[in-house]
Chain A
Amino acid sequence: MTGRPVRYNRSWTRGQVALAFIVLTFAIAGGLAIYSSATSLIGLWRTASSVLFLPLLLSLVLAFLLDPVVTQFEKFFTRTGSIFILYVLLLGFVFLFTLGLTPHWQSFWSDMANDFPRYTSQVTDGLRNLMNALHERFPTLAAYDVPTRFRAWAEQMMAAVLSETPHSAMKVGGLMVVVPLFTFFFLRDGRAIMRACVALTPNRHFEMARDLSHMISRQLSQFVRGRIIEAMIIGVVVTLGLSLTDIRYAPVLGIFAGVTNLIPYIGPIVGMVPGILIAFVDLGVGAQFWWIVILYILIAQVLIDNFILIPILISRVSNLHPLLVFFAIIVGGKLYGVIGMIIGVPIVSVIKIILLEIRTYRRTFRLPESALE
């Protein structure tokens, strides 16, 4: 080395270049391999989570709902025993319910298949009359053939519903097996799962994590329970109110109104559209039609929901700004379709509750300290 010129020392030997080439090649190949396996892992994760998403969500909600009942039973039995007793009771209830419902079910579906085209043709006629009236005043509007478009859309919808029914029946059957199973374990081990998660926090933050997890889960269970009970009561009220009139499908319309009631601001409006349309087509504009409109708007929404249920069941803490509600619905719909629209708002409320609890916690403990100084 000593006799050689300095320049030669700086440049690389052929062996070193070859080594560098090999190392770089392997590095790039390895990087690509890791990258591709990572993307396939993400793909796997996405598939897995999309399959698990709905059953997990449903069983979590169910566990939140049933937990107080199990806790009541737990004063007399063991926890697992209480869950079993509750399951047997629920199973008996569901069995009796379906037993009472089965004869009506068949005729219900055939009625639906007959009636839906009738409703759409009626609405199409109504739209055509409206358009004709409009055309006389605004001739430029003739280019828009709204009634034809509406009919095409309605026929597509009907076809989709009919072809999807067996498919979704399979899905529902699968859910009916998986959801009770998941719920059972959430009910039995939910506390242990939470403990295990909290136990992962480092010593320094453990106390805070324990306290926060307690407060957040209390708020969350209150919120979920409140929302579900509110939707149930609205569904029952609408069903009862509708069955006083001659309108058909009162239970289905009631259930629809209850489910859509989970979405604030927009949900109730969407929920009353089918009921009012069917009333308009079948009963015409008369006393019964106006009773149905009053039932949906005044009795269900204003009186029961706004004056009675919301103040009792749902704390104002979880109120969201309307703009945030729209964002949640749009993003939820983009991510998970109709289900996403329904659960988008509750999920945003959950995030808000968590943030608020953390803030309250920090504030609670800052006050006495500043009082001491």
Chain B
Amino acid sequence: MDPLWSSIFRKKLDEDSLTYFLKHLPIFSELSPRALNLLEQVVHQRNYKDQETIFEEGDPGSGMYMIRSGSVSIYTKDDHGKDYELARLVPGDFFGETTLTAPAPRSASAIAIESTELIGLFRADIIELTERRPGVSCSILLGLTRVVSERLQAASHEIRRLQDQTGQHISAESVET
């Protein structure tokens, strides 16, 4: 096609557009194009410098972050007060999703380890969206619930495996809560 025309009829789902990024996240993969458009208006785009703190353990948590570019280290302090890395996250990963619906202090710290672009989605945005567009908000929350449930199932499997390994018995109640 003629380059002039191709630039005029450029596809909306460009690879570097925010919609494209959101659509390829597992949480939002089942959203309709219209819902994606609304979601794009609701999320916040934030840029972090190398070594910039995103949040610290104990901070009031109110939402989740998705990594668009760069990388993030999740760490906590061990008994001796030394930093102990729990995970290193790359583009497409997300973190902090447990505080999206239930307000709680952050359970670990997060720091950008290179220049990083994050997409934030916060509880206030979800609440406002629920009032305006209950349907869209519902499909977003369904996706989130699916991913969180998968993670929870994986975690319970892991606990069971560790139980079998060590032979220790953890009561079923404490696993489920």
Contact = CB atoms under 8 A, between A and B. Distances in A.
B95 to A, nearest CB: 13
B132 A207 contact: no
Interface string B148-165: 000000000000000000
B131 A71 contact: yes
B21 interface: no
Given A368-B104, A368-B105, A203 B48 contact: yes
A207 B63 CA distance: 8
A210 B124 CA distance: 7
Contact of B103 (A74, A206, A365): A365
A361 B105 CA distance: 12
Nearest to B45: A199
Contacts of B124: 210-211, 213-215
Nearest to B56: A204
Interface residues of A, number: 21
Contacts of A207: 55, 59-63, 120, 122
A199 B46 CA distance: 8
A71 B127 CA distance: 13
Interface string A191-207: 10001000100011011
Given A203-B54, A207-B60, A74 B105 contact: no
B103 A364 contact: yes
Given A75-B133, A203-B54, A210-B122, A365 B127 contact: no
Interface string A208-220: 1011011100000
Interface string B73-109: 0000000000000000000000000000001110000
Contacts of A74: 132-133
B134 to A, nearest CB: 8
B50 interface: no
A210 to B, nearest CB: 5
Nearest to A70: B132
A369 interface: yes
A206 B46 contact: yes
A373 to B, nearest CB: 11
Given A71-B131, A369-B105, A210 B44 contact: yes
11 contacts: A75-B133, A206-B44, A207-B60, A207-B120, A210-B124, A210-B125, A211-B60, A214-B127, A365-B59, A365-B105, A369-B105
Counting from the closest, the 10 A-B pairs by CB-CB distance are A214-B124, A365-B60, A211-B62, A210-B122, A207-B62, A369-B105, A210-B124, A369-B58, A74-B132, A211-B124
Interface of B: 44, 46, 48, 52-55, 58-63, 103-105, 120, 122-125, 127-128, 131-134
Given A207-B59, A208-B60, 17 more contacts: A71-B132, A75-B132, A206-B44, A206-B120, A207-B55, A207-B61, A210-B44, A210-B63, A210-B125, A211-B122, A211-B123, A214-B124, A215-B124, A361-B60, A365-B59, A365-B103, A369-B105
